């Protein structure tokens, strides 16, 4: 491990994550992982593809072949050991992983090439306009589908993923993941030096590329009607959250925070508390500020109201010197703007409301802000968090409670019959003469997510550079 170098802090991307509302209309490439106790760093993740229904035309020809690439970092110590070391400032803020893996494998040591023609096609469940790329920044927890035109000489080609905000050297490539694209009839193995990607510290390059990836307004995506049918050019905002991700020392322990509140996981699961006790004794709704920063860092169970069927604007701020990435469960959001420095309401005039991409994980650049719009049509208790595993584990998260008084089970499924009770919520007594216990109806609607918070995620997830190169 390197010394305490602030730039290395950016590298704790053991994260492939992006869980989605698991509905039938979500196409794209995702991945799953365990969502609690830092277990994701133990490697329990894998890809999931959700294909279009046959009746929906896709905006490109059917590929000859498909493969998944999962990129992530790996610690040489066990995830439990790393987890327990996170109570030191070095590991909480600076500790770097040992190696970068591609589909769970270490670097294929050899180098180099010329670009294949490749295009972005989808990201996290929606179609983008096709742009030609030879390198793509994929931030922690994000996924892309990319079309690669295999029209080069039959050979083996490198696929390289290198970290952002960190300069790998020829002597130390442990944090560069290297794979090989092999043509069936190739007799030439990949060799030569690895291609140079863009400068890993060139954030303008990354921002400009992010801005150039636009929604394809005419493609059908999951539904027959065009994606552009749903746009944000003329929406009325119901709420604005301004959420500042940061570090905080609380009681001598290094933590991460949102608006200076570091999340405290209660013993009673939020959904149980919500369903059976209106949160009482577990959390106080709207106790913490959603658009300013608490003057003193505190630990608390941060649950904020999201207005059902309202448009929510969230401005994510990052005052650290490293990349951050935010993810919202339960909804996609339109990424309408990136900016440097302080966000002010006047900056809304710079938003792209015409063809912003819809996704559920967005990067926030060092010292900058990212603005998203989301329509809260999905009742539930939803996690909003840094997708950087370490930040998340150490408290950079909150919950969004979207309440719908209509108990229609089509909107939010009731808890299952075998619901486990724990914490301060006791199981209801079985009704007399009834063979099976039935959960007591609460005053709040029932919810699907936390009964089994199985998180589905994406396939390429490193903040880094993705290159497919030819010999």
- Nearer residue to Cu ion within complex by CB, 19 or 222: 19
User: Could you tell me the smallest distance in angstroms from the CB atom of residue 354 to Cu ion?
Assistant: 26
Strands 298-300 and 261-263 come out as parallel
**Residues ≥6 apart with Cβ < 8 Å to 230:** none
Alpha carbons 99 and 129: distance in angstroms, whole number: 34
- Nearer residue to Cu ion within complex by CB, 73 or 397: 397
How does DSSP assign 235-284, residue by residue? PPEEEEEEEEEEEEEETTEEEEEETTEEE---SS-HHHHHHHHTTTTT--
Alpha carbons 331 and 123: distance in angstroms, whole number: 14
- Nearer residue to Cu ion within complex by CB, 354 or 454: 454
Subset of residues 10 to 49 that bind Cu ion, contact rule: CB under 5 A: 19
Please give the biggest Cα pair distance in the chain: 76
Q: Are 263 and 281 in contact (CB under 8 A)?
A: no
- Nearer residue to Cu ion within complex by CB, 19 or 219: 19
User: Could you tell me the smallest distance in angstroms from the CB atom of residue 271 to Cu ion?
Assistant: 15
User: Could you tell me the smallest distance in angstroms from the CB atom of residue 361 to Cu ion?
Assistant: 8
- Nearer residue to Cu ion within complex by CB, 120 or 360: 360
- Nearer residue to Cu ion within complex by CB, 134 or 329: 329
- Nearer residue to Cu ion within complex by CB, 311 or 392: 392
- Nearer residue to Cu ion within complex by CB, 194 or 372: 372
Q: Binding of Cu ion at residue 124 (CB under 5 A)?
A: no
- Interface mask (CB under 5 A) for Cu ion, residues 318-347, using x and -? -----------x------------------
Dump strand ranges (E) for 291-395: 298-300, 303-306, 311-318, 324-328, 333-340, 358-359, 361-364, 368-375, 380-386
- Nearer residue to Cu ion within complex by CB, 20 or 83: 20
Q: Are 39 and 83 in contact (CB under 8 A)?
A: no
CA angle (69, 73, 79) in 5-degree steps: 125
Alpha carbons 250 and 406: distance in angstroms, whole number: 40
Alpha carbons 427 and 419: distance in angstroms, whole number: 9
The length of the chain in residues reads 471
Please report, in angstroms and rounded to a whole number, the separation of the first and last CA atoms in the chain.
Answer: 32
User: Could you tell me the smallest distance in angstroms from the CB atom of residue 306 to Cu ion?
Assistant: 15
Q: Are 78 and 42 in contact (CB under 8 A)?
A: yes
290: left (phi over 0), alpha (psi -120 to 50) or beta: alpha
Nearest residue to Cu ion, by Cβ distance, number only: 19
User: Could you tell me the smallest distance in angstroms from the CB atom of residue 113 to Cu ion?
Assistant: 36
Please give the size of the binding site for Cu ion, defined by CB under 5 A.
2
Burial class (CB in 10 A: 0-12, 13-18, 19+), 430: exposed
- Nearer residue to Cu ion within complex by CB, 138 or 471: 138
Tokens of 17: 């994550």
- Nearer residue to Cu ion within complex by CB, 38 or 331: 331
CA distances from 357 to 121, 153, 227, 352, 373 (A): 12, 35, 10, 10, 11
Q: Interface residues with Cu ion (CB under 5 A)?
A: 19, 329
């Amino acid at each position: 491990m390197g010394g305490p170098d602030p730039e290395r802090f950016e590298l704790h991307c053991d994260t492939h994550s992006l869980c989605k509302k698991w509905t039938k209309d979500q196409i794209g490439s995702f991945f799953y992982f365990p969502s609690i106790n830092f277990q994701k760093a133990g490697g329990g993740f894998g890809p999931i593809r959700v294909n279009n229904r046959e009746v929906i035309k896709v905006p490109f020809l059917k590929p000859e072949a498909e493969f998944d690439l999962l990129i992530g970092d790996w610690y040489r110590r066990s995830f439990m050991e790393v987890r327990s070391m996170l109570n030191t400032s070095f590991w909480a803020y600076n500790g770097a992983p040992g190696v970068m893996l591609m589909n769970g494998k270490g670097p294929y040591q050899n180098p180099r090439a010329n670009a294949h023609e490749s295009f972005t096609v989808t990201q996290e469940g929606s179609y983008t306009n096709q742009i030609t790329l030879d390198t793509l920044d994929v931030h922690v927890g994000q996924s892309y589908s990319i079309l690669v035109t295999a029209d080069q000489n039959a050979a083996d080609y490198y696929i390289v993923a290198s970290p952002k905000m960190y300069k790998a050297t020829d002597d130390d490539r442990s944090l560069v993941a290297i794979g090989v694209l092999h043509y069936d009839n190739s007799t030439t193995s990949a060799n030569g030096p690895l291609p140079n990607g863009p400068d890993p510290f060139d954030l303008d390059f990354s921002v400009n590329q992010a801005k150039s990836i636009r929604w394809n307004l005419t493609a059908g995506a999951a539904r027959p009607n065009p994606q552009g049918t749903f746009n944000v050019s003329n929406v009325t905002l119901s709420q604005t959250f301004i959420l500042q991700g940061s570090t905080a020392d609380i009681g001598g322990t290094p933590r991460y925070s949102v608006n200076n509140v570091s999340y405290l996981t209660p013993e009673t699961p939020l959904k149980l508390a919500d369903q059976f006790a209106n949160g009482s004794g577990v959390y106080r709704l709207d106790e913490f500020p959603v658009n300013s920063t608490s003057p003193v860092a505190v630990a608390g169970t941060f649950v904020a109201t999201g207005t059902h069927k309202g448009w929510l604007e969230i401005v994510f701020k990052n005052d650290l010197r490293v990349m951050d990435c935010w993810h919202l469960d339960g909804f996609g959001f339109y990424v309408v703007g990136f900016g440097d420095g302080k966000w002010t309401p006047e900056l809304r005039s710079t938003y792209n409301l015409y063809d912003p991409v819809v996704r559920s994980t967005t990067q926030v650049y060092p010292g900058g802000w990212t603005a998203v719009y989301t329509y809260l049509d999905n009742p539930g208790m939803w996690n909003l968090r840094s997708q950087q595993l370490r930040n998340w584990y150490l408290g950079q998260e909150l919950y969004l409670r979207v309440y719908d008084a209509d108990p229609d089970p089509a909107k939010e499924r009731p808890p299952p019959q075998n619901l486990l009770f724990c914490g301060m919520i006791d199981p209801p007594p079985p009704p007399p003469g009834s063979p099976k216990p039935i959960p007591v109806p609460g005053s709040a609607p029932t919810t699907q997510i936390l009964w089994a918070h199985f998180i589905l995620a994406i396939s390429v997830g490193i903040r880094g550079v993705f290159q497919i190169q030819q010999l």
